[in-house]
Structure formats: structure tokens, C-alpha cells
């Protein structure tokens, strides 16, 4: 299956709607900092507003994701994007308002559309053939990395070159436009009412906790690369202006890595093993940046880390897709979104605290240690879940597993058999 075969008109419409919904999210933290930076204590207030926004995302993603109706998801998505647009508009139209009002708008802007990302991913995988899911998710990853690469430059140019309120108003307009675009897409995705055997959604989602743990661990590496790199460059006596090009190289390499991973529908090894190897490799490369003395060497390590970071993210999402029934996919992706957001926030807080007492290189190594801890916890949980699954499969001699006890591998194997073996293992 090639990329050309999935780039159809419905998928292109999906890309446009997704970009309209995701670009405001990528712009938000920096946009609120520029919005209030000229007020007394502006930078502290901006950091607080950005934190409130991220907290809104972390809280909203699981709460709203589990309440989505897979068959009729469109009204909930329109509701989320609509209120997200109102939150951004409130910030842009009242930049001098009381901090409590601004905080409320920031929370709504983060909370309301928090489940949209997961729902749009579930919708995309429904729009393409089963054998093309890897390519579809790779396409989504390339789109997301492009959005995140463009967002800082867009915010900075508009805020400094025109007006600090303009980025927020643009975010509101893009989010509102995505509401209209939803009606050009399917209303939802198919899900059998009997999936899960009557088991609660919470328990179904909880079974995939090892995937969430590994997801949180991986995003701590991204936080390290973004937040500590400027301080590390200063420690090495390298101009801080190199931070932008180095991070751009990381993002571009990540987009390339997503493209390369999608060139094949099947890679060697099970998805959890692929994810473990990729995350550990990225961790090793990020740790290497802490000890390398030259700009070119640090840049090379970051480029290699970026090439592997995107496939690491893709394998986690594909593993989650195998672990959950279709009716729980959007909720599962939303929980993953919250988990990786929490991992990013935790790493950022850890980095900020460590930089007060240790050198930037040491802070990076401590953050890598946190990544390794979360990753190994996730890997151990996945391995523990496989043991009873293997025992049950041997005892049943090919009998159908129950919905309550179906592990990631059993669901993946069943899906592969139904799809003619085309699903990614």
C-alpha cells in the first residue's frame, strides 16, 4: 500500500480539518506568553496561563474522550471545537482582563477540544483500508510535526510584527473553521454495540496502561530537547541562537522518520518491542547530547533522535489500536493524549527545578532517567499481561478469547487474520 493510494479527497479534507484544529493547539502556549508579556509580571502570568491551558487539555482529554459516541461523534467534536474557539476568542479580545478571566478562557480553550485529536485519529483509520492504517497514521504524524514546526514562527511573526492579540484571534478562527469542516467528514466510525462484553469503558481503557506509561516516558524526551537545549548550549559556550535551527532539524527529521515508517505496513517484531527499542534509542541519543561538546555533534544526535522519535510515537498508537476495541479507540487515544501531556509537563517541571541546582547536562541525564523508568514500567506491564494471555490461548486451543481478557496481541492477531494478515503486528 503506497501513500498515493490513501491520499484521496476525503483524506485530504480530513487533513485540512485536522490542521485547523491542531494548529491552534500548537500555537497556544507561546501565544498566551506573547499576549501578556508587556503587563507587570507578564512572563510569569504567561507561563501560568500556558500551564492552565495544558492542565485543561490533560483533564479534558480522558473526561470527554470516554463520553464520545463512536457512531455519532460529530456533535461532540463540533461542541469541543466551538467552545475552544470561544476560549481563544476570549483571550484575544480581552488581553487586559483580570488574570482569573484569562485563566478561565485558557482552561476552556484547552479543555473543550481535548478529545478532538483522538477522535480524528479514530476517524482517519476508519476512512482507509485496514492494510493502510500504518500509512494513514504516518501521514497524520507528518502533518502534526509540520504544524508544530510552523506554529512558533507563526506566533512570533504575528505577535511581534502585527499585534499580540492576532495569534489568539487566528486560533479562534481556525478552530471555528474546523467546526464547519466536520460536516464534510463521516459522522463517526463503526463500533459493535456488544464490544467489551458489557465491561465498563474505564476497565477497558485501564488494560492498556503499559502503552500509556511508555507514551508518557517518550514525551519527556521531547520536553528535554525543547526546554533544556538553550541552557545546554550556553553551558557549552555555543551561541543560543543555534537552538532554533537544531530544534527545527529535530522536527524535520521526525517528519522524515514518520514517512519512512509508513513505507512499510509491517516491520520486524511486535509493536511493544518496536516501541521499546525505539524509545531506548531516542533516550540514548538525547543523553548523548548532554556530553557532546560541538554544535555539529549535538545537531547530528538530535537529527537521529528525531528520525526515531516519530516511529516511536507511531508504534505506541498502533499498539493502542490493537489493544482496544474500535468502540474505545477515540477514548484510548484521548487518554494517551493526556498521558503524554502529563509526561511532558512532568519533565518540564523536573527540568525547571533541576536547572536551579545542577548543570543543564546533568538535568538532561536526570530527565533521561525518568524516561527510562516510565518506559521500563510500561514494558514490564506489557510483558506481565502477555503471560496470562499466552496461558489462556494454550488452554483454549484456539477458542475465542473473552472481551474482558483480550490482550493487545490477541486483538492484533484476530484483526490480522480478519484482514488477511495485513495489519501491522
The tens place of each residue's pLDDT in the chain, 425 residues long, gives 577 778 889 899 999 999 999 999 989 988 998 898 888 878 788 888 988 998 999 999 989 988 888 888 899 999 999 999 999 999 999 998 999 999 999 999 999 999 999 999 989 988 888 888 888 888 998 898 888 878 888 898 899 889 999 999 999 999 999 999 999 998 887 765 544 456 777 888 888 888 888 888 777 777 767 778 888 888 888 887 787 788 888 888 888 998 998 887 678 888 888 888 999 999 999 889 888 888 899 999 999 998 998 898 888 888 888 888 877 888 888 888 888 888 777 777 777 777 778 888 888 888 888 888 888 888 888 877 666 555 544 544 444 343 333 333 333 333 333 333 333 33
- C-alpha count within 13 angstroms, C-beta hemisphere, residue 38: 8
Alpha carbon separation from 134 to 192, 263, 264, 274, 402 (Å, rounded): 23, 8, 8, 14, 27
pLDDT at position 416 is: 34
pLDDT at position 388 is: 55
- Mark out the alpha helices in 228-328 (DSSP H runs): 229-235, 243-261, 271-289, 295-323
Separation of first and last alpha carbons in the chain: 16
3-class SS at 418?
helix
Q: Is the dihedral of CA 377, 378, 382, 385 positive or negative?
A: positive
pLDDT at position 409 is: 38
Specify the residue for cell string 483533564: 59
Q: Which three cell numbers stand for residue 371?
A: 524516561
pLDDT at position 273 is: 87
What angle do the packed helices 99-111 and 74-93 form, to 10 degrees?
160
Q: Which of 144, 148, 406 has the alpha carbon at shortest distance from 259?
A: 144
Query: Cβ–Cβ contacts within 10 Å for residue 38, how many?
Result: 10
Residues 6 or more apart in contact with residue 318 via CB below 8 angstroms: 133, 134, 137, 271, 424
Per residue, what are the HEC states of 82-134? HHHHHHHHHHHHCCCCCHHHHHHHHHHHHHCCCCHHHHHHHHHHHHCCHHHHH
Q: How far apart are CA 168 and CA 32, in angstroms?
A: 8
Alpha carbon separation from 157 to 26, 30, 53, 164, 341 (Å, rounded): 15, 12, 22, 10, 26
Domains and CATH numbers, the chain: 1-135+147-189 (1.20.1250), 199-415 (1.20.1250.20)
pTM of the model: 0.78
pLDDT at position 387 is: 60
pLDDT at position 1 is: 57
Amino acid at each position: 500500500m503506497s501513500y498515493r493510494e490513501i491520499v484521496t479527497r476525503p483524506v485530504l479534507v480530513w487533513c485540512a480539518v485536522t490542521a485547523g484544529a491542531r494548529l491552534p493547539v500548537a500555537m497556544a502556549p507561546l501565544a498566551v506568553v506573547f499576549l501578556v508579556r508587556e503587563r507587570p509580571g507578564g512572563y510569569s502570568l504567561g507561563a501560568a496561563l500556558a500551564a492552565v491551558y495544558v492542565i485543561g487539555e490533560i483533564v479534558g482529554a480522558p473526561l470527554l474522550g470516554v463520553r464520545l459516541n463512536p457512531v455519532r461523534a460529530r456533535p461532540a467534536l463540533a461542541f469541543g471545537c466551538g467552545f475552544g474557539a470561544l476560549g481563544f476568542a476570549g483571550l484575544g479580545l480581552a488581553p487586559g482582563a483580570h488574570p482569573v478571566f484569562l485563566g478561565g478562557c485558557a482552561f476552556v480553550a484547552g479543555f473543550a477540544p481535548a478529545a478532538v485529536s483522538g477522535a480524528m485519529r479514530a476517524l482517519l483509520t476508519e476512512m482507509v483500508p485496514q492494510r493502510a492504517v500504518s500509512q494513514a497514521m504516518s501521514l497524520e504524524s507528518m502533518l502534526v510535526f509540520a504544524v508544530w514546526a510552523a506554529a512558533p514562527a507563526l506566533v512570533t511573526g504575528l505577535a511581534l510584527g502585527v499585534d499580540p492579540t492576532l495569534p489568539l484571534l487566528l486560533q479562534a478562527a481556525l478552530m471555528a473553521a474546523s467546526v464547519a469542516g466536520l460536516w464534510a467528514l463521516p459522522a463517526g466510525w463503526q463500533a459493535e454495540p456488544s464490544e467489551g462484553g458489557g465491561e465498563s469503558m474505564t476497565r477497558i481503557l485501564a488494560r492498556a496502561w503499559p502503552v500509556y506509561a511508555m507514551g508518557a516516558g517518550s514525551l519527556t524526551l521531547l520536553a528535554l530537547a525543547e526546554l533544556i537545549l538553550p541552557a545546554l548550549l550556553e553551558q557549552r559556550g555555543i551561541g543560543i541562537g543555534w537552538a532554533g535551527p537544531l530544534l527545527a532539524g529535530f522536527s524535520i527529521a521526525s517528519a522524515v522518520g514518520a514517512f519512512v515508517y509508513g513505507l512499510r505496513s509491517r516491520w520486524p517484531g511486535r509493536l511493544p518491542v518496536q516501541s521499546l527499542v525505539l524509545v531506548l534509542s531516542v533516550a540514548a541519543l538525547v543523553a548523548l547530547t548532554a556530553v557532546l561538546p560541538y554544535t555539529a555533534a549535538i545537531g547530528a544526535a538530535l537529527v537521529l533522535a528525531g528520525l526515531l522519535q516519530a516511529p516511536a510515537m507511531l508504534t505506541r498508537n498502533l499498539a493502542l489500536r490493537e489493544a482496544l476495541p474500535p468502540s474505545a479507540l477515540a477514548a484510548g487515544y484521548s487518554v494517551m493524549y493526556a498521558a503524554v501531556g502529563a509526561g511532558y509537563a512532568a519533565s518540564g517541571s523536573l527540568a525547571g527545578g533541576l536547572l536551579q541546582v545542577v548543570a543543564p547536562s546533568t538535568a538532561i541525564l536526570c530527565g533521561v532517567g525518568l524516561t527510562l523508568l516510565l518506559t521500563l514500567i510500561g514494558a514490564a506491564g506489557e510483558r506481565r499481561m502477555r503471560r496470562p494471555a499466552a496461558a489462556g490461548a494454550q488452554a483454549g486451543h484456539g477458542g475465542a478469547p473473552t472481551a474482558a481478557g483480550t490482550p493487545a496481541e490477541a486483538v492484533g492477531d484476530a484483526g490480522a487474520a480478519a484482514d488477511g494478515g495485513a495489519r501491522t503486528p
